[in-house]
Amino acid sequence: MTYSFRLDSSVVQVKKDAQEEFPVTYPDWFKYVDNLKARFYSDHGLSNSGEDAGLIRLPPFCTGISLQSDSASLEMTIPEQRKTVSFSPGRGETLQTFSIPFPRTRVNLKLRKEPKTGQFRFSHVTLWVMKDALGNTLVRMPFPNAYDNGTICYGDNAYDLRFPAKDLRETFSYYSMYTDAPFNSDLWRQHGPYETVPQWLAYLSTLDTFPYEEI
């Protein structure tokens, strides 16, 4: 069962699975959030007392979270932004850098809980380009080092992190680890006339916004 919500002027519009949206008043919504928070603390053996009572620190651009007793799933919706990316021609060769409009990205991350420590540990992640602003159409990342199923080939850049149950901010690393590390030609797929990664990145560097219609 999945709930999604959006804030309206006077109510919270809630959607349950594939059903139609229904309005919930703000007082009732806050009660629901409080109940969810209490269940989270109970499931993870946490206390609501202390300086940071009630806080679950989430990563930037987090638009969804599902908490279970032994796992957690997070969704991040990252807007288009201009980023400096790099391409590595090979070991010992000079990196080529490009300032490009990096497309809006949907990140889906799965964590598993370690019974002994109570910490979350990386399990699975996918990155997708959102062709439309609402993310109704998700497509493969138009860069190298990405598979058709949305998973990422991190190569030597991969690292295994553990996250406290109340602090999931560092899960954003699984996005930045892909965008900030140098690309190579692994899993590259030609886009239009651009046969190589540098050609594609050089073309993007001339644009103000990402050309979603070309992927």
**Domains held by the chain: number:** 2
pLDDT at 187: 92
Between residues 54 and 189, which one has the greater pLDDT? 189
Position 92 confidence tier, pLDDT thresholds 50, 70, 90: confident
pLDDT at 165: 80
Mean pLDDT in residue range 54-63: 79
Same domain assignment for residues 40 and 107 = no
Residue 174 identity:
Y
What's the whole-number average pLDDT of the chain?
84
Same domain assignment for residues 115 and 158 = yes
Same domain assignment for residues 5 and 101 = no
Same domain assignment for residues 102 and 203 = yes
Same domain assignment for residues 154 and 117 = yes
Cβ-in-10-Å burial (0-12, 13-18, 19+) of 24 comes to middle
Q: Which residues form the domain of 201?
A: 61-214
Angle (CA) 118-120-125 rounded to 5° is: 165
Same domain assignment for residues 123 and 29 = no
Same domain assignment for residues 32 and 80 = no
Mean pLDDT in residue range 5-26: 70
Same domain assignment for residues 71 and 127 = yes
pLDDT per position as a tens digit, 144-166: 999 999 999 876 655 677 888 88
| Three-state SS at 197 | helix
pLDDT at 151: 92
Same domain assignment for residues 107 and 145 = yes
pLDDT per position as a tens digit, 22-49: 777 767 766 776 676 666 656 655 544 5
pLDDT at 99: 98
Same domain assignment for residues 195 and 102 = yes
